[in-house]
Chain A
C-alpha cells in the first residue's frame, strides 16, 4: 500500500505539473483539495482522467463518493487498490 501511495503521489505531481513538489512533500493523510495541497475542481477532473488511464478505475458521477475517494492520497490508494482493473 505504501508503494501505491508513492506511485499516486508521483502521478499527482506529474499530472498536475506541481513542479516544486517531491513525493515526500505530500502528506498521504492531508487533504488534496482546497486546504492541504490546494487543488481545485479542474485538478480533480484531470486526476480522475489520469487514474482512469493508469489503473482503469472508473469514477462514478456520484459526487459524494468521489469526495471520499479524493480526500487524500491515502484514500485514493485505498480506492485504486480495490477497484483497479489494470496493473
Chain B
C-alpha cells in the first residue's frame, strides 16, 4: 500500500489534552479519569449544543489536528460510535415514549463528521467507518487509497468511549473516552509508514522492547497502540486479528 507520513496529530482524553502529555502517557500508560469533556470552543455554540461528550472529544481532536491546514477529505472511524444515543432511543421506544428528534437525527454513525463539515463549511469528501476490531486499519486503508488517487492530504479521526449499559460486557476494551486525529500525506521518504495485511501466523518474535509493550495493561485500547506506533518512531507494530496480520512498519 501507499506509504504515508503523519504531518500533524492531536488527541484528547480526560486528563490528556496536548501532544506532550500524550507522548509521556503512551510511553507509560496509567489509569485515566473516566469522565471529562473538552470545551470545543472552536465550534460555534449553536452547533456545539447538539454534540454529546463523544462527539465533543472527537471534534476537539479534529480541530486541534486540522488547525490551518487546507481542506482535505476526513475519515471518521469509530468502532461503536455514539452508542449511548441509540440505547436511549431504544429505551424510549420500548416504553412507547416519543423519541427526541434531535437525538434521532444525531444517532447515525456519520453524524459527528457531518457536524464538523457543516460547522466549518467544508465540502470535502467525508467518510464514516466502523469495522470492528480492525476499525483503525480500515480507516488507514481508505486513507492510503485516497492518497494513491492523488489527494494531497487526508485526515483520519479515531474515537470511542466505553460501551454503555446494558451492552458493556460486549467490549470491556475501552475504559475511557478518547479520540485522536492525524493529518496524513503521501510519502516515499525514508520515514514513510506502510500498512499491509498478511495471512498466517505472526512474523519472528518482537524485540524485547516491543514485547514489553505487548504486556500493556489490558485496558489500553487497541487503537491507542496504533497511535503509539505512529507518534513514537517505533519500527513496527503488528495487530493480529484471526487469520489477518495487520503490519504497520516504518522504512528503515
Are the CB atoms of B102 and A52 closer together than 8 Å?
A: no
Interface: A3 (CB within 8 A) = no
Of A18, A20, A42, most buried by chain B (CB within 10 Å of CB) is: A42
Q: Is A17 an interface residue (CB 8 A)?
A: yes
Interface residues of A in 46-77 (CB under 8 A from B): 46, 49, 52-53
Instruction: Name B97's closest neighbour in chain A (CB-CB).
Output: A53
| A42 contacts across to B, CB distance below 8 A | 101-102, 105
Please pick, from A19, A38, A46, A53, the residue contacting B101 in the complex, using a CB distance under 8 A: A46
- Report chain A residues within 8 Å CB of B105: 42
Considering only CB atoms, which chain B residue lies closest to A16 in the complex? B49
B49 with A49: CB separation less than 8 A: no
Structural contact, A19 and B102, CB atoms closer than 8 A:
no
Closest to A20 in B: B45
Contact with B along A17-58 (1 / 0, CB 8 A): 111100000000000000000100011011001001100000
B204 on the A face (CB < 8 A): no
In the complex, which of the residues B45, B98, B102 has the most CB atoms of chain A within 10 Å of its own CB atom?
Answer: B102
**Contact status A19-B45, CB under 8 Å:** yes
In the bound complex, what is the Cα–Cα distance between A20 and B49 (angstroms)? Answer: 9
Of B49, B98, B101, which one neighbours A17 at CB under 8 angstroms?
B49
B50 close to A (CB within 8 Å) = yes
How far does the alpha carbon of A20 sit from the alpha carbon of B41 in the complex, in Å?
A: 12
B7 close to A (CB within 8 Å):
no
Shortest beta-carbon contacts, A-B, top 10? A45-B101, A17-B49, A46-B102, A46-B101, A20-B45, A42-B102, A49-B98, A42-B101, A42-B105, A38-B46
Q: Which residues of A contact B (CB under 8 A)?
A: 16-20, 38, 42-43, 45-46, 49, 52-53
- Additional A-B contact list (14), CB under 8 Å, known A16-B102, A38-B46, A43-B102: A16-B49, A17-B49, A18-B49, A19-B49, A20-B45, A42-B102, A42-B105, A45-B101, A45-B102, A46-B100, A46-B101, A46-B102, A49-B98, A49-B100
